[in-house]
Structure 1
């Protein structure tokens, strides 16, 4: 269920005693037999896109009325995104941990700074054309490093 809940929300649910999250059809939910806190979820305008989100809790009372309202508001806010057409290439939206974004930003800055510094050195040495090959190699390496970091955030679509 990570596609619906970013890591901080999953941690919050776990702290509240959530042991499992499951999407079931409305008919399966109506049949009962599950010990869970249920939320109706409209996942778009396509037929059959309604579901019931079941949160299996160690203690259902641990999820207060306020908590249930917060979750219901969050799920309602997802509706426009779930109803949106698929992204080009059919890739679904994802959430990323903040640590990954910070790390990638740091590495991109390092590679870009190095790239610009080497471009400056190259500009100074262009007059006599001595020893520019290592500088060009380093610039290429930094550009590839930038591309590798961007791929961590935006992996290429599957074939």
Structure 2
């Protein structure tokens, strides 16, 4: 499965110029802990950064700085990590581990924003797959039991 098939495509985004109180209200309105910062280029949203609620708290509020003096562009991370939408889940996990991040942006070939995926999203996917795999053994036992009953009724293998 490609990460593009699985990622969350309902991304809440902002531009670099949005002030922190507006960003916090946007996070609250959409019940998210992060905003993707984009530039509008050729009618396409190109991600340039990401900020989290933690970035605001640790970077500004905990230092008793005036939140009204900052824009999201001031506190977004200096390095943006993204993955192409056709990449696999395993490759995305490896990228997240290598970079020590819990969220990664998913982009198309033109670097346009496609979606976002978090470590929690991937854990949910893997848990669902493991649950399905756990159902294999009991079904195999049922199939074998039915086969034995059929063979016994046909006097085969007696």
**TM-score band w.r.t. shorter chain:** 0.3 to 0.5
Higher strand fraction (1 or 2):
2
Superposition TM-score, scaled by structure 1 size: 0.32
TM-score, length basis structure 2: 0.32
